[in-house]
């Protein structure tokens, strides 16, 4: 039982160990984060000034598309699966994931999917250029030939996500230590359980929509072609039926991460644990009945507009419960502001700003003005960057000492935080103004009147990018030469993962712990 | 004990895989037909119903509705395509014949498909076509001209606030698709 990891490259190729696989997921997602970041910086460099300077419009379109795809499917989702792999078994007192071999498989197909997706950049006709939402007929009739590679890449990513989700559900439902009842589970485990169900429900729908595209392109069907009796609007409905739960897939685990961190550094138990669980479940349910708010301008009956508008606004209620609980957890706590806490507090504030702009967009009549402007870009970057990305970063700083046994450099961590915080606000806050003034998204050139806001955005984007390099350096320096961390790591930490030594041994909880 | 957990894992995974497969099938086989049905019921997209069998003819001469005709070519469709009359006034219940004119000015044989749309949406289900060129595709030889017939009846039950109905046809070039004769399109065509 006490055997350690195998040596050499085969350790990583053949591993069925949840910690190894978790680490690989996290490194892979960081690599994708940098790749998607480079694409973003190409976009921001082009938009630094009005006019066309650096890239051709065709290539600009490929950049916006690849940036979105790589960040959503390559950076955010695998990062959360990586955190789940590392933390879920340790949080519930399980020796490993329920299906370790499938776990290996679900990771190792990902590099192939993204190699295939990235290779389209070098193909004749270029990479996909139809936006990450790949609306038909842009992605069917007018798509570059590389769209077929895109379709298969999405199939593989979907298969990987579904397998990961099945594994997580099986682990949580079947592998909990004795005494670990559902309502005693840490919130990160709860949010991932619900996220995994969302994944299994909607990733097949994504696979379905790309399969229909494939058949329209190569096999003469007309799902999305009006000439053959189909309808391009159908594409948007099916896509957003996947797409809306997808945005909660990217944010629910983030809720779990900050719900673990805030109580630690506020030195108070999480306020309203049960309401957090129910709020998460309500958000997951509501996510299935609001998809058409992405397509208010497509031409819907007034009853449809009203239904989707009110249903969307309803999501603010459980989300408000969560924000209230985090704030109340901090209220009168003995707070300290180590790096994970800084990222988590920023998460609460900035995610709430993103939520408010979301409410503005939910107002159907107002959405006709905001639709497809930079206001939308500002909105979803405010929920994804300080939402998903900040929570992942916070999670990495919070658990890194447990993973590698060494403490990160606090000064460098704080430096990273402030650079990222200032960088992201400089990048995305001006986009609200540019968008409200009418700047359309996904266009490589713009009117002179938007020049100042765009210049600020571009400067902020490069600052944010530089901050991530500092993050990379800090993580490597910690692993290589950090100070030894204690088992408890944080004074206020609670939970099973802090009862094992630092670094966490290769095998933990081979005999289940007693949970009281 | 360990064996039991394993059994439970396999069983649960099988259930979850089944859920995934069901959702895939739902996306491909249920959502598109469901969307068509939904559009037909609500008149969304101005999709008019398929061929309609006329009932006993009673004409409501007290009401007069203006029907406007619009013709559009999709993308690079080179045909001349226009309605015979821009608009006519009809009584609900009265069968009306109109024509569209199509010319293929190119030097190759082509096939076209007209796709209708109608506003206001709430009138869509009260606009019945008893004959329409849009029920079939339209082959035209190089340089050929055709008169395309359309017979319709505005339903007696058309809502009171509807005074004008605009019927639009968009003409698509489906020459390539017809030549390829690829099977596989199982979707009900409701032009």
* pLDDT above 60: residue B181: no
Catalytic residues of A: 67, 96, 132, 160-161, 244, 246, 248, 259, 293-294, 319, 322, 441
Domain spans of chain A? 15-498
Confidence at residue B191, expressed as pLDDT on a 0 to 100 scale? 41
User: pLDDT category, B185, cuts 50, 70, 90?
Assistant: very low
Q: Output DSSP code: residue B29.
A: I
A448-481: buried (b, 16+ CB within 10 Å) or exposed (e) per residue?
eebbebbbbbbebbbbbbebbebbeebbeebeee
Which pLDDT score is estimated for B119? Answer: 83
Q: Is some CB atom of chain B closer than 8 A to the CB atom of A227?
A: yes
Task: Determine whether A236 is exposed, middle or buried from the number of CB atoms within 10 Å of its CB (0-12, 13-18, 19+).
Answer: buried
**pLDDT above 70: percentage of residues in chain B:** 85
* Contact assignment for B32 to A234 by CB distance below 8 Å: yes
- Which among B23, B39, B42 has CB closest to A204? B23
| pLDDT given at position A279 | 97
CA atoms within 13 A on the CB side of A272: 17
Q: Which among B9, B45, B74 has CB closest to A231?
A: B45
> What's the CA gap between A195 and A183, in Å, rounded?
17
Residue scoring higher pLDDT (B50 or A392): A392
Helix (H) or strand (E) holding B98: strand B96-103
- Chain A residues close to B110, C-beta within 8 Å: none
* Residues of B with Cβ-Cβ distance to A99 under 8 angstroms: 9, 13
In chain A, what residues touch B173 (CB-CB under 8 Å)? Answer: 227
A144, A125 contact by CB (below 8 A): yes
Condensed to tens digits (0 to 9), the pLDDT of residues A224-267 reads 988 888 889 999 999 999 999 999 999 999 999 999 999 999 99
Q: What is the mean pLDDT of residues B83-94?
A: 90
3-state secondary structure of B152: strand
- H runs (alpha helix) in A223-338: 232-249, 252-266, 273-286, 302-314, 316-330
Burial class (CB in 10 A: 0-12, 13-18, 19+), A232: middle
pLDDT, position A252: 97
Tell whether the model's pLDDT for residue B182 goes beyond 70.
no
What homologous superfamily is domain A15-498 in, according to CATH? Answer: Cytochrome c oxidase-like, subunit I domain (1.20.210.10)
Class in CATH terms, B49-180: mainly beta
Where chain A has pLDDT below 70, the residues are 1-3
| Number of Cβ within a 10 Å radius of residue A100 | 17
Whether A99 and chain B come into contact, CB under 8 Å, resolves to yes
**pLDDT number for residue B186:** 40
The dihedral sign for the CA sequence A166, A314, A371, A41: negative
Complex-level ipTM? 0.88
Q: Specify the pLDDT at position B130.
A: 84
Q: Using an 8 Å Cβ cutoff, are B137 and B113 in contact?
A: yes
pLDDT bracket for residue B49 (50, 70, 90): low
Chain B positions with Cβ closer than 8 Å to A = 5, 8-9, 12-13, 16-17, 19-28, 31-32, 35, 39, 42, 44-45, 74, 113, 115, 121, 170, 172-174, 177, 180, 182-191
Task: Between A496 and B41, name the one with better pLDDT.
Answer: A496
Residue contact A233–B32, C-beta within 8 A: no
Distance CA A257, CA A260 (A): 5
pLDDT tens-digit series, residues B124-168? 888 888 888 888 888 899 888 999 989 888 888 888 888 999 999
């Amino acid at each position: 039982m006490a055997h350690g990891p195998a040596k050499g490259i085969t350790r990583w190729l053949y591993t069925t160990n949840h910690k190894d696989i978790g680490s690989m997921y996290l490194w892979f997602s960081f690599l994708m984060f940098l790749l998607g970041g480079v694409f973003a910086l190409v976009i921001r460099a082009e938009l630094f000034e009005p006019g066309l300077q650096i890239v051709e419009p065709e290539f600009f379109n490929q950049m916006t598309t690849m940036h979105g795809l790589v960040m959503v499917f390559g950076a955010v989702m695998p990062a959360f699966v990586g955190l789940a792999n590392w933390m879920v078994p340790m949080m519930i007192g399980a020796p490993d994931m329920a299906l370790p071999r499938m776990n290996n498989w679900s990771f190792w197909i990902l590099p192939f999917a993204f190699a295939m997706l990235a290779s389209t950049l070098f193909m004749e006709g270029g990479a996909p250029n139809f936006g990450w939402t790949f609306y038909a007929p842009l992605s069917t009739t007018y798509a570059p030939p590389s769209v077929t590679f895109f379709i298969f890449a999405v199939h593989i990513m979907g298969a990987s996500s579904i397998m990961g989700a099945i594994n997580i559900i099986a682990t949580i439902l079947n592998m909990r230590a004795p005494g670990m009842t559902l309502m005693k589970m840490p919130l990160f485990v709860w949010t991932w359980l619900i996220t995994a169900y969302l994944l299994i429900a909607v990733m097949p729908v994504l696979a379905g929509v790309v399969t229909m595209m494939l058949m329209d392109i190569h096999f003469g069907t007309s799902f999305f072609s009006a000439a053959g009796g189909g309808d391009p609007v159908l594409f948007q409905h099916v896509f957003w039926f996947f797409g809306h739960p997808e945005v909660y897939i990217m944010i629910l685990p983030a809720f779990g991460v900050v719900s673990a961190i805030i109580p630690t550094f506020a030195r108070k138990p999480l306020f309203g644990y049960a309401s957090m669980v129910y709020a998460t479940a309500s958000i997951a349910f509501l996510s299935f009945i609001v998809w058409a708010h992405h397509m208010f301008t497509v031409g819907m009956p007034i009853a449809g507009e009203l239904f989707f508008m009110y249903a969307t606004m309803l999501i603010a209620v459980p989300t408000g419960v969560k924000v209230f609980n985090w704030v109340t957890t901090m209220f009168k706590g003995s707070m300290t502001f180590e790096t994970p806490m800084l990222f988590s507090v920023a998460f609460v504030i900035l995610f709430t700003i993103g939520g408010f702009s979301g409410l503005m967009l939910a107002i159907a009549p107002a959405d006709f003005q905001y639709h497809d402007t930079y206001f939308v870009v500002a909105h979803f970057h405010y929920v994804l960057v300080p939402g998903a990305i900040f929570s992942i970063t916070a999670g990495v700083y919070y658990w890194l000492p447990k993973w590698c046994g060494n403490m990160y450099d606090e000064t460098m961590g704080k430096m990273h935080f402030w650079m990222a915080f200032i960088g992201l606000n400089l990048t995305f806050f001006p986009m609200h103004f540019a968008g409200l003034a009418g700047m359309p998204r996904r266009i490589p050139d713009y009117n002179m009147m938007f020049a100042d806001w765009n210049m600020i955005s571009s400067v902020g984007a490069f600052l944010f990018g530089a901050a991530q390099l500092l993050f990379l350096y800090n993580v490597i320096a910690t692993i290589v030469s950090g100070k030894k961390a204690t088992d408890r790591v944080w004074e206020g930490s609670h939970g099973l993962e802090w009862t094992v030594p630092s670094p966490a041994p290769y095998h933990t909880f081979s005999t289940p712990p007693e949970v009281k | 004990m360990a064996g039991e957990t394993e059994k439970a894992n396999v069983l649960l995974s099988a259930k979850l895989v089944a859920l995934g497969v069901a959702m895939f099938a739902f996306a491909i086989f249920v959502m598109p037909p469901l969307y068509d049905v939904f559009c037909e019921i609500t008149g969304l997209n101005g999709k008019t119903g398929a061929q309609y069998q006329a009932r006993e003819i009673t004409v409501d001469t007290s009401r007069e509705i203006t029907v406007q005709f619009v013709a559009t070519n999709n993308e690079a469709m080179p045909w001349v395509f226009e309605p015979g009359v821009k608009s006519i006034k009809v009584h609900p219940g009265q069968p009306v014949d109109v024509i569209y004119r199509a010319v293929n000015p190119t030097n190759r044989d082509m096939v076209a498909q007209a796709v209708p749309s109608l506003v206001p949406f709430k009138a869509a289900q009260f606009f019945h076509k008893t004959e329409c060129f849009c029920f079939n595709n339209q082959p035209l030889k190089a340089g050929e001209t055709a008169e395309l017939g359309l017979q319709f009846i505005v339903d007696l039950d058309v809502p009171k606030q509807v005074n004008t109905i605009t019927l639009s046809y968009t003409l698509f070039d489906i020459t390539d698709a017809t030549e390829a004769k690829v099977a596989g399109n199982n979707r009900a065509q409701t032009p």
